[in-house]
Amino acid sequence: MADVTFGVKVPEELKNELSELMKDSTLSGKEFMGMLLASYKLEKAKEENSLFEGDLKELQTLLKRVQGIYTHMIEKSQLGYQQQLKEIEKK
């Protein structure tokens, strides 16, 4: 299925906030919208069915932890790369 353009009118502040979030997340607009939709569906499912609410909260906690570790790994590798560049420049 081909991708289509989706647009909505929003206040400029909301547009700017969404733009910053997308920029910070390094996701494409398509990926970011998919993530928002998945998050919304998950929250809706939690409201409609409380049987797995605790399990979902635990999974979300674990996922946030994994994302935090991954982010830390990226930051750590960037710092290492910058330090190597500085050492090369000194030589």
Q: What is the reported pLDDT for 72?
A: 93
DSSP string, 18-44: HHHHHHHHT--HHHHHHHHHHHHHHHH
pLDDT tens sequence across 42-68:
888 888 888 888 888 899 899 999 999
Q: What is the reported pLDDT for 63?
A: 92
**Considering the entire predicted model, what is its pTM?**
0.55
**What value does the mean pLDDT of the chain take?**
89
More confident of the two residues 17 and 48: 17
Q: CA of 45: how far to CAs of 27, 34, 56, 62, 89, in Å?
A: 25, 16, 10, 19, 54
State the DSSP code for 79.
H
